[in-house]
């Protein structure tokens, strides 16, 4: 029940009604199904014993209905009715299937959209502490399984329960005692079986999920780290680990597949035995030819009930295995994001002006779950339009400082102001002013042009693009390429040199015409001449924008207006 509630909570609101609609339409199919089964009794009766339908008068005015019809006509009409009902049932099933398929399609697309959007809007820290393989598995694995296994089954399971009870009613109506006996035997048997495998199902469900994540993580890191694998001849080592994970994962699937048909086989044997017992009952106690129609209906219902029983049980098993899927998605869909950016997108933000300075007021930062403070008591003011050079030994906290400055991470103490506005209260407006060339450059597997304009395909400005190419010293390189700016860079820029990648990142930063330009070791892959040339171009932007330059190269900071050093968790003016 808990899992049903959670399933409903995960399902986007607009689909909840559809699920109920599916349920009621399926109910119609069930009614037709029951009718087609219930018709067997009168049909067989007419065939065997034409006058045996008298008992129907109990339910409605049957005699009036058939008065004036010959026995043959009754048979023909009866069979025709049977056919019509089956025909209606098939039409209803086809329509229902189309509706259901569409429903699952829309649910899947919508859920993927919601979750992807949620992850994209999570804070940078969230992404630091969550492995991408888990997030990818959630988006592309668990949602699919949720729709295919959980939703699909819930849509069916209620119907099967209803159908089961209706059939049971028919059976009980015909033979109370024997039916009760048979059903209780089945239930006892299944409960016994269930308790036997319950723990296993819980365990397999969790393991399956873990192994899926691990499998993706391992494949991903082996392939992205292929260069190091090759250098250190570790292909075999990584292959072994992956195969080990895949084997364990498939072993679970294998075991589930082993036990899946077990209830069916066991129930079939049980049914055969029961038919035998019942046949003995029927033949012994009554005139067999008279009770044949009843016997036929009884077993038609019984045989129809059997697969439902088995299906119910298997679906139950699948849901049990799917508990971790629902749990995970429930956590993900109901989790409150730790940044307010999404909300900010929906409200009209105040215009944020940067005319005076950026002020750090007693700022400190510590990574969550880590005791060590990285930066503390930073009280600084950076004036608009200046070029600020920042140096410091490796690991001292330069990148952390820039991340704070850009609002990627929030101070654990103190505040950062742009003029008089707290940047973290208006982080969207703030980020619009900034271009940040990070230490680990990132390129999408697309053309050079698309890497520079980065998501503005339709309305890009070619003058701005040309200017950014010039400033970042890319003109000659691109001019020499047969496809020019339309050249594909490869995954993470693998078809380019380190310096070319870096210059494309610089061009991306400049294309935005930022008010604040931040370089984190952004020229360290370039030769001295190119580096100088780019830096002097950048310095020409003085006055138009405020520049932060983090570098290990002291020569580059010579012309900066102000110089700072990051040391002992502080930032000192030098
Ligand atoms: N996510 C994290 N969790 C915990 N500690 C971290 C995390 N990221 C960085 N650190 C630590 O914070 C300190 C400062 O890191 P930072 O990247 O700011 O250094 P840096 O000055 O930019 O160094 P480099 O010159 O090598 O780029 C380092 O000691 C680093 O180990
Ligand atoms: Mg750094």
The domain ranges of the chain are 2-339, 347-573
Which of these, 549, 514, 506, lies nearest to 433 by C-alpha position? 514
Stretch 537-563: mean pLDDT, rounded? 88
User: Can you give the pLDDT at residue 492?
Assistant: 87
Quote the tokens at residue 469: 């190419």
Residue nearest to atom 24 of ligand 1 (CA): 394
User: How would you classify residue 401: left for phi > 0, otherwise alpha for psi between -120 and 50, otherwise beta?
Assistant: alpha
SS3 156: helix
Note whether 183 and 167 are within 8 A (CB): no
Ligand nearest to the CA of 395: 1
**181-195, 277-291, 465-479: least confident range:** 277-291
Angle in degrees, 0-180, between the axes of helices 176-224 and 152-174, rounded to the nearest 10: 170
**55-59, 134-138, 203-207, 438-442: least confident range:** 55-59
User: Can you give the pLDDT at residue 263?
Assistant: 81
Can you tell me the distance from the alpha carbon of 400 to that of 414, in angstroms, rounded to the nearest whole number?
15
Residue nearest to atom 29 of ligand 1 (CA): 395
Evaluate if residue 285 carries a pLDDT over 70: no
Stretch 60-71: mean pLDDT, rounded? 69
347-573 placed in CATH 3.40.50.300: yes
Tens digit of each residue's pLDDT (9 = 90 or more) over 166-179? 888 878 887 788 78
User: Can you give the pLDDT at residue 302?
Assistant: 75
Stretch 106-116: mean pLDDT, rounded? 96
| Look-up of token digits 């010039």 | 470
Evaluate if residue 130 carries a pLDDT over 60: yes
| Look-up of token digits 């969230």 | 126
Residue nearest to atom 3 of ligand 1 (CA): 367
Sign of the CA dihedral running 138, 144, 148, 152: positive
Output the CA 518–ligand 1 centroid distance in Å. 17
User: Can you give the pLDDT at residue 383?
Assistant: 92
**51-60, 202-211, 430-439, 450-459: least confident range:** 51-60
Q: Which residue has the higher pLDDT, 120 or 304?
A: 120
User: Can you give the pLDDT at residue 295?
Assistant: 73
User: Can you give the pLDDT at residue 61?
Assistant: 65
Tens digit of each residue's pLDDT (9 = 90 or more) over 320-367? 899 999 999 999 999 887 665 545 555 555 678 888 899 999 999 999
Sign of the CA dihedral running 175, 176, 181, 186: positive
Quote the tokens at residue 52: 């045996």
Q: Model confidence at 152, in pLDDT bands (50, 70, 90)?
A: confident
Tens digit of each residue's pLDDT (9 = 90 or more) over 355-399? 889 999 999 999 987 888 999 999 999 999 999 999 999 999 999
- Domain 2-339 falls in which CATH fold? ABC transporter transmembrane region fold (1.20.1560)
Evaluate if residue 401 carries a pLDDT over 60: yes
Sign of the CA dihedral running 105, 112, 328, 241: positive
Note whether 292 and 48 are within 8 A (CB): yes
What is the side-by-side strand order in the sheet with 387-392? 434-437, 516-520, 546-550, 387-392, 562-567, 570-573
Ligand nearest to the CA of 375: 1
Tens digit of each residue's pLDDT (9 = 90 or more) over 195-237? 888 899 999 999 999 999 999 999 999 999 999 999 999 999 9
Note whether 45 and 53 are within 8 A (CB): yes
Evaluate if residue 52 carries a pLDDT over 70: no
Strands 357-366 vs 434-437: parallel, antiparallel or unpaired = unpaired
Q: Model confidence at 289, in pLDDT bands (50, 70, 90)?
A: low
Q: Which residue has the higher pLDDT, 80 or 271?
A: 80
Q: Model confidence at 75, in pLDDT bands (50, 70, 90)?
A: confident
User: Can you give the pLDDT at residue 190?
Assistant: 79
User: Can you give the pLDDT at residue 168?
Assistant: 84
- Closest-lying ligand 1 atom to the alpha carbon of residue 370: 4
Note whether 71 and 43 are within 8 A (CB): no
Output the CA 367–ligand 1 centroid distance in Å. 10
Quote the tokens at residue 180: 């009760």
User: In 198-220, which positions are buried (b, 16+ CB within 10 angstroms) versus exposed (e)?
Assistant: eeebeebbeebbbbbbbbbbbee
Q: Which residue has the higher pLDDT, 268 or 567?
A: 567
Can you tell me the distance from the alpha carbon of 299 to that of 429, in angstroms, rounded to the nearest whole number?
72
Q: Model confidence at 4, in pLDDT bands (50, 70, 90)?
A: confident
Best residue among 396, 411, 564, 570 to mutate for probing ligand 1, ranked by most atoms within 8 Å of CB: 396
Which residues line ion ligand 2, judged by CB < 5 Å? 398-399, 439
Q: How distant, in Å, are the alpha carbons of 99, 148, 201, 411, 466 from that of 142? A: 23, 10, 17, 34, 44
Best residue among 124, 366, 370, 400 to mutate for probing ligand 1, ranked by most atoms within 8 Å of CB: 400
Stretch 234-252: mean pLDDT, rounded? 95
Ligand 1 residue neighbourhood (C-beta within 6 Å): 128, 367, 370, 374, 392, 394-400, 439
Evaluate if residue 35 carries a pLDDT over 90: no
Provide the β-strand partners of residue 357: 383
In a 10 Å sphere around its CB, with 0-12 CB exposed, 13-18 middle and 19+ buried, how is residue 263 labelled? buried
Kindly report the pTM of this predicted structure.
0.85
Evaluate if residue 66 carries a pLDDT over 90: no
Output the CA 555–ligand 2 centroid distance in Å. 18
In a 10 Å sphere around its CB, with 0-12 CB exposed, 13-18 middle and 19+ buried, how is residue 513 labelled? middle
Best residue among 397, 411, 439, 523 to mutate for probing ligand 1, ranked by most atoms within 8 Å of CB: 397
User: Can you give the pLDDT at residue 351?
Assistant: 74
Q: Model confidence at 56, in pLDDT bands (50, 70, 90)?
A: low
Residue nearest to atom 28 of ligand 1 (CA): 395
Q: Model confidence at 63, in pLDDT bands (50, 70, 90)?
A: low
Quote the tokens at residue 145: 């399984």
| Average pLDDT in the chain | 86
Output the CA 399–ligand 1 centroid distance in Å. 7
Task: Please tell me what DSSP assigns to residue 335.
Answer: P
Evaluate if residue 300 carries a pLDDT over 80: no
């Amino acid at each position: 029940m808990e899992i049903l509630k959670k399933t409903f909570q995960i399902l986007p609101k607009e689909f909840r009604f559809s699920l109920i609609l599916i349920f009621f339409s399926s109910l119609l199919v069930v009614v037709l199904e029951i009718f087609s089964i219930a018709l067997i009794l009168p049909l067989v009766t007419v065939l065997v014993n034409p006058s045996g339908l008298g008992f129907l008068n109990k339910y409605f005015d049957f005699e009036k209905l058939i008065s004036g019809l010959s026995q043959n006509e009754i048979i023909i009409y009866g069979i025709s009715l049977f056919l019509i009902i089956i025909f209606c049932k098939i039409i209803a099933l086809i329509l229902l299937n189309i509706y259901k398929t569409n429903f699952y399609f829309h649910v899947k697309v919508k859920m993927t959209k919601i979750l992807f959007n949620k992850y994209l809007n999570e804070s940078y820290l969230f992404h630091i502490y969550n492995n991408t393989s888990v997030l990818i598995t959630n988006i592309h694995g668990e949602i699919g399984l949720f729709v295919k296994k959980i939703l699909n089954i819930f849509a069916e399971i209620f119907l099967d329960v209803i159908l089961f009870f209706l059939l049971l009613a028919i059976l009980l109506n015909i033979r109370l005692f024997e039916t009760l006996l048979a059903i209780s035997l089945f239930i006892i048997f299944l409960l016994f079986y269930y308790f036997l495998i319950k723990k296993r199902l819980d365990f397999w469900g969790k393991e399956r999920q873990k192994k899926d994540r691990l499998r993706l993580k391992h494949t991903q890191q082996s392939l992205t780290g292929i260069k190091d694998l090759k250098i250190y001849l570790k292909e075999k080592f990584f292959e072994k680990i992956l195969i080990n994970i895949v084997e364990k994962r498939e072993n679970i699937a294998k075991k589930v597949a082993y036990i899946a048909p077990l209830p069916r086989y066991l129930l079939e044997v049980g049914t055969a035995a029961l038919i035998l017992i019942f046949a003995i009952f029927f033949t012994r106690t009554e005139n067999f030819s008279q009770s044949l129609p009843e016997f036929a209906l009884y077993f038609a219902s019984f045989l129809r009930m059997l697969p439902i029983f088995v299906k119910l049980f298997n679906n139950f098993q699948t849901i049990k295995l799917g508990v971790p899927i629902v749990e995970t998605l429930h956590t993900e869909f109901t989790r409150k994001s730790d940044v307010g950016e999404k909300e900010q997108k929906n409200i009209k933000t105040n215009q944020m002006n940067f005319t005076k300075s950026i002020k750090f007021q007693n700022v400190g930062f510590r990574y969550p779950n880590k005791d060590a403070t990285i930066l503390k008591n930073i009280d600084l003011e950076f004036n608009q339009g200046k070029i600020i050079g920042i140096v410091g030994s490796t690991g001292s906290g330069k990148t952390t400082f820039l991340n704070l400055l850009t609002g990627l991470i929030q101070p654990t103490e103190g505040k950062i102001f742009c003029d008089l506005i707290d940047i973290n209260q208006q982080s969207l407006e703030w980020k619009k002013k900034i271009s940040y060339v990070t230490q680990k450059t990132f390129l999408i597997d697309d053309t050079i042009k698309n890497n520079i304009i980065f998501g503005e395909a339709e309305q890009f400005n070619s003058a701005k693009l040309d200017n950014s190419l010039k400033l970042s010293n890319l003109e000659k390189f691109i001019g020499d390429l047969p496809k020019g700016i339309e050249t594909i860079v490869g995954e993470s820029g693998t078809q380019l040199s380190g310096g070319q990648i870096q210059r494309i990142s610089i061009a991306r930063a400049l294309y935005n015409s930022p008010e604040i330009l931040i370089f984190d070791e952004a020229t360290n892959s370039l030769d001295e001449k190119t580096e100088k040339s780019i830096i002097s171009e950048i310095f020409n932007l003085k006055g138009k924008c405020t520049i932060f330059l983090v570098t290990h190269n002291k020569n580059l900071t010579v012309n900066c207006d102000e110089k700072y050093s990051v040391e002992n968790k502080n930032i000192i003016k030098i």
